[in-house]
Every structure is written in structure tokens, then in C-alpha cells.
Amino acid sequence: MGGARKSDGWIDNQLAVMQYCCMALVIPVSKRGTVTLPPGLRKRLGLDRLENPMLLVEEQGGKLVLEAATALPVREIPASTLKKWICEDESGMDAFNSTEKNA
């Protein structure tokens, strides 16, 4: 990952600022869809300290957002939290069903 190209003047400076200040990175995607995160980024996200690192990937406004994720066995999640999630899920489904019927 070198610096910005020298031939484009102003654009080079903008790319350099993005690369070194904003952590914008250009990362190749293999034909199979594999992406390799650079070691420095893995370290900043704390992925280097995990035995089986995972990322939560969300599409937001045409962009991919990556966040470090953690998997927990269901037995380790408090029952009150599970009940809350189930209620939220059911109310979301009720709202979806009611809008579908009105359409």
C-alpha cells in the first residue's frame, strides 16, 4: 500500500490524507470474494487477540460496514435478554405484517 500517485497533483494529496488520516483503504477482493484485512487494521480492531475472529458485515446505503463481532453460546445469554429480543422480534414482525395487509 504505498503513497498516492505523483501524477495527479491535488488528487494525490487527497488520497494520501484518506489513506493516512481517515483509514480509508483499498483492499482487493479475490475471485472467490475473499478479503484479507491488513495486519495493522486487524490489530486496531482487536481481531489479532481472538482465537476465532469474526466480523459483522452490514450493507448501509450501498456501503459495507464491518465491525468486530463476538459469538456467545445461547446458554450464556441472560434469560431476560433473550425474552427482550424475542419481544422486539415479535413486535417487529407484527408491524411488518400489518403494513403488508394494508398494502
> For residue 79, what pLDDT is reported?
93
Here the cell at position 84 is: 427482550
> For residue 5, what pLDDT is reported?
47
pTM beyond 0.75: the answer is no
Low pLDDT (below 50) residues in the chain = 1-6, 8
Q: d(Cα 43, Cα 64) in Å, to the nearest integer?
A: 20
> For residue 90, what pLDDT is reported?
93
Q: d(Cα 89, Cα 83) in Å, to the nearest integer?
A: 10
Determine contact, residues 27/37, Cβ cutoff 8 Å: yes
Cα 90 to Cα 34, 82, 85: the distances in Å are 35, 12, 9
> For residue 9, what pLDDT is reported?
52
